[in-house]
Structure 1
Amino acid sequence: MEEEYNNQEGLINPCSKAQLLSLPEFKESYDLEYSNYVLNDDLIQTLKHPLSTSKITIVLGTWCGDSKLYVPHFLKVLDAAGFKEEHLHLIGVNREKKAARGLIDHLEIDRVPTFIIFQNEKEMGRIVEQPNETFEKDILNILTK
């Protein structure tokens, strides 16, 4: 894997989905993983209402294999549930899981990607690296506990 490391940290700090997809190495895996993820349509319908009042922060590394695999899956769930992009905050980090000026220090990120779900400015729960079951089930568990 050392050949793949090209001394680039990728995107650091807040970014948009468009900025994320502007990176060829991220877009390539994104396109593949997004289309390959099979949604649970019943759970998507159940998620629509509770997600409509949520905000989500995704902390990811554009250099990270797990981010390239799981961020597209998570975003496909959000897209299918009609989640508003303005309620989504994407934050890129370096290999030390840091962003500039301590931007995410308060979030205590150990591994990426980390998907954090908020309601009324309160953290309801998080999915770290990969879902326990599926993203649909894990999000529903967080929003209904």
Structure 2
Amino acid sequence: MKNILTGLILLFAMNVGAQELNKKIEDPNRHKQVMLNECTREAITSFAEFKESYDPNYANYKPDSTSLDQLSKLLKGKKVTIVLGTWCGDSKFQVPHFLKIMDALKFDIDKIEFIAVDGTKHCENGLIDNLKITNVPTFIFTDKKGTEVARITERPQETLEKDMLKVLAVAKTK
């Protein structure tokens, strides 16, 4: 009985700071429903307001095939955190392109974390407090230890593929 009680207390303690996955809220700044906190790819890409831009932007994007081989090598052992706004025009444009690239690379979707923010670029319970998010989308690349090695903020300077090559190549030399 004591072990069961201890287990329940531990389970409760672990869930106190947990986020609701795929949470939707009425954003007081945007006056519309947005997604918040950690989300799955499926939830984001099927969220009505995001989906209407996601589908055509994903379908029409043609990844730069000459960059894919190099990118595949540079992404080995990396994870990606995408901080986005389901309300944000740049997120609606860049996230589908990014995912089309990652799909072309056959990058493991389990190594991509999606975090949706509200109109003030915040989440609940300090989920992104240490990420220094100024604009969305922000693509953060981390190594096996979880240390940030590179990021692309809001939109690429050239193309996502070229910018990824640049930032990941610099990260490799450090």
Q: Give TM-score scaled by structure 2 length.
A: 0.77
Correspondence list, 1:14-33, <5 A: 14-33=38-57
* Counterpart pick for 2:153 among 128, 139, 142: 128
- Which runs of 5 or more structure 1 residues have no equivalent in the other structure? none
- The Cα of 1:9 is off from its aligned counterpart by 4.3
Aligned-residue sequence identity (percent) comes to 45
Judge conservation of contact 1:58–1:115 (CA < 8 Å) in 2: yes
- Which runs of 5 or more structure 2 residues have no equivalent in the other structure? 1-28
Change (3 A) 1:99 1:9: farther
Aligned residues: 141
- The Cα of 1:42 is off from its aligned counterpart by 1.4
State the SS of the aligned residue for 2:140: strand
State the SS of the aligned residue for 2:110: helix
For CA contacts below 8 A with separation 6 or more, give which structure has more relative contact order.
Answer: 1
Residue matched to 1:52: 76
Q: Give TM-score scaled by structure 1 length.
A: 0.92
Paired with 1:122 and 1:138, the residues of 2 have a C-alpha distance of 19
Judge conservation of contact 1:9–1:62 (CA < 8 Å) in 2: no
Judge conservation of contact 2:30–2:119 (CA < 8 Å) in 1: no
Residue matched to 2:166: 141
Judge conservation of contact 1:9–1:94 (CA < 8 Å) in 2: no
Paired with 1:6 and 1:43, the residues of 2 have a C-alpha distance of 37
Paired with 2:165 and 2:97, the residues of 1 have a C-alpha distance of 15
1:7 equivalenced with 2:31 (yes/no): yes
Superposed structure 1 runs of 4+ greater than 6 Å apart: none
Residue matched to 1:37: 61
Paired with 1:6 and 1:98, the residues of 2 have a C-alpha distance of 13
Paired with 1:79 and 1:51, the residues of 2 have a C-alpha distance of 13
